[in-house]
Amino acid sequence: MNHKTSWTGGGMSRRKFLATAAVAPLIVKAEVLGLGGATPPSERIILGGIGIGRRGRHDLQWMIAEKDVQFVATCDAWRERRESVKQVVDKYYGNTNCAMYRDIREFLAARSDIDAVLITTGDRWHALASVMAMRAGKDVYSEKPSSMTIAEGQAVVQTAQRFGRIYQTGTQRLSEANFVATNELLRLGRLGKVHTVRAHISGGNAVLNRDWLAPEPEPVRDEVDWDEWLGPCPWRPFNNRYIQGGWRGQYDFHTSCIGEWGAHTFAQCQVALGLGETSAVSYTPVEKPSGDGMVTKFANGVEMVLQQGGWHGSCGVRYEGTEGWVACADGYSRPEVSHPALLADYAKLVQDYAARTGRALNHVRNFFDCVKSRQQTVANPVMMHRSMSTVHAANISMWLNRKMTFDTVKEEFVGDAEANRLRSRAMRAPWQI
């Protein structure tokens, strides 16, 4: 409202205005009132995005399809991606309203109207952007892997608790029917005493490259803000391959092949075992630089084996007990089991889970429901941090090539100062938690 407006100015008295308003028809769009199936503005979740690339575009289209969500602004250090997101959003809404920001600090400070943010940067920015957003009063949906170090995961948990924010990490298989049914078989004891779980890790190596790519001319800042793109990572010269996905496999940027899919599969295994609030305690490295075959062990004696093969699909898990086994991966029409009776009531398993937990079998819907209810998400910050701590500890064991014991209460390696130093990394100013 313009505070200079006067009821007695401009040739119309307050009395005349009220008399006119009393007989004039009040025209309000149906969508404003929430008619015709539309969500009224007071009930909409206002959403923004940070670092939305290829995976982020999938999440974005998934989210804006929700009727109570309105996407209003995107932030990215890379102009091409800012403009690409704006084009998608404006086309969807039939307007030109999606705002663009290059600097995350400006974005968070300027947009007090935004309730929640979608963060789909590369690994290096996930935790820092989440912490910055939650400090600014935003709820967060962050793609995985959601931390680069154990210390970063701790910071996400502490920030969510201190500022009362809702957080969901993008381990969407925790909300998919096939994986839900797989986990329920274990939880209900149908596999007997579970002794081994197997977690799929992606192709590539756990031992990462520390060499820089060859320097190339740095773009103008508005094209690619290289300082902001690097964020908390050590400075290095620009090379276009980094921003095109070549950051993968680099120590400064990536959580390795273990984190790439292990962020999903470790979370699956730990939640199924009822260990979502702890981490593995024992880590035994293998000679393969990939980490394929590495054995980790939880305090209850269950072993989790890291495997690059064994499923006909990605991000697979397999649970083995004294009474049978179950396995699932992307693309399975149903989980595979040691005997059909285990899944005779597949639909009921899924329905009972939904009824017991009250969770939608839709990962982004679970997030938005929790934004409204303020209940914890299925992939909440503690679960994220504890499963990612298992990822980080497995990586550290591979990097140092020795067996390690992790104290899950103190969150430190027992008697190993070198390993403990790797629980955190220096963050380059000003991009620090």
Give the residue from 172, 194, 217 where a domain finishes.
Answer: 172
179 and 103, same structural domain? no
Q: How far apart are CA 136 and CA 133, in angstroms?
A: 5
Domain co-membership, 141 together with 38: yes
Residues 6 or more apart whose CB falls under 8 angstroms from that of 22 comprise: none
172 secondary structure, DSSP code? G
146 and 194 both lie in a single domain: no
CA pair distance 291, 200, nearest whole angstrom: 11
**pLDDT value of position 403:** 98
Q: What is the pLDDT of residue 12?
A: 44
- Span 82-115, pLDDT tens digits: 999 999 999 999 999 999 999 999 999 999 999 9
Indicate if 152 and 197 belong to the same structural domain.
no
pLDDT at 42: 80
Q: Does residue 183 sit in the same domain as residue 330?
A: yes
Residue 106, in any domain of the structure = yes
| 11 lies in some domain | no
Task: Tell me the HSE value of 33 on the side-chain side, using a 13 A CA sphere.
Answer: 7
Residue 267, in any domain of the structure: yes
Q: Once rounded to an integer, what is the mean pLDDT over residues 22-40?
A: 52
Is residue 167 located within the same domain as residue 192? no
**Looking at residues 31-50, what average pLDDT do you find?**
76
Number of folded domains that form the chain? 2
293 pLDDT more than 60: yes
The per-residue b/e assignment along 411-425, b for 16 or more CB within 10 angstroms, e otherwise, is bebeebeebbebbeb
pLDDT at residue number 41: 80
C-alpha 115: how far from its chain's center?
17
Is residue 223 in some structural domain? no
| Same domain? 145 vs 188 | no
CA distance 397 to 418: 11
The alpha carbon of 239 is separated from its chain's Cα centroid by a whole number of angstroms, namely 27
Q: In terms of domains, do 151 and 287 share one?
A: no
Say if residue 258 is in the same domain as residue 361.
yes
pTM (predicted TM-score) = 0.91
Among 6-10, 87-91, 334-338, the range scoring the smallest mean pLDDT is 6-10
Instruction: State whether the Cα torsion 364-367-369-372 is positive or negative.
Output: negative
What's the CATH code of the domain at 161? 3.40.50.720
Compute the average pLDDT of residues 160-179: 98
Asked whether residue 360 is assigned to any structural domain, the reply reads yes
Q: Quote helix, strand, coil % in the chain, to nearest 5.
A: 40, 15, 45
- Residues 178 and 160 reside in one and the same domain: no
Q: Is the pLDDT of residue 296 over 80?
A: yes
Question: Where do we find the tokens 């702890």?
Answer: 278
Does some domain include residue 61? yes
Strand arrangement of the beta sheet that strand 295-297 belongs to: 336-337, 324-328, 317-321, 194-200, 303-307, 295-297, 282-284, 404-407, 412-413
The β-bridge partners of 407 are: 412
pLDDT digits (tens, 9 = 90+) for 352-382: 999 999 999 999 999 999 999 999 999 999 9
Mean pLDDT of the region 68-76: 98
DSSP-assigned states of every residue in 378-401: TT-HHHHHHHHHHHHHHHHHHHHT
pLDDT tens for residues 143-161? 999 999 999 999 999 999 9
Same domain for 383 and 264, yes or no, is: yes
Q: Which residues neighbour 338 within 8 Å (Cβ) at sequence distance 6 or greater? A: 324, 325, 326
Residues 208, 214, 220, 226, Cα dihedral to 10° = 20
Q: How large is the average pLDDT for residues 206-213?
A: 94
Q: Is residue 12 part of a domain?
A: no
CATH number of the domain residue 363 falls in: 3.30.360.10
Does residue 216 sit within a domain? no
Could you report the per-residue pLDDT of 227-258, keeping only the tens digit for each? 999 999 999 999 999 999 999 999 999 999 99
Mean pLDDT computed over 190-205 = 97
* Position 48 confidence tier, pLDDT thresholds 50, 70, 90: very high
Domain housing 323: 173-207+254-421
| 130: its two tokens | 């989440």
Is 336 found in the same domain as 192?
A: yes
Q: In what order do the strands lie in the sheet with 116-119?
A: 99-101, 69-75, 45-50, 116-119, 139-142, 167-169
Q: Is the pLDDT of residue 29 over 70?
A: no
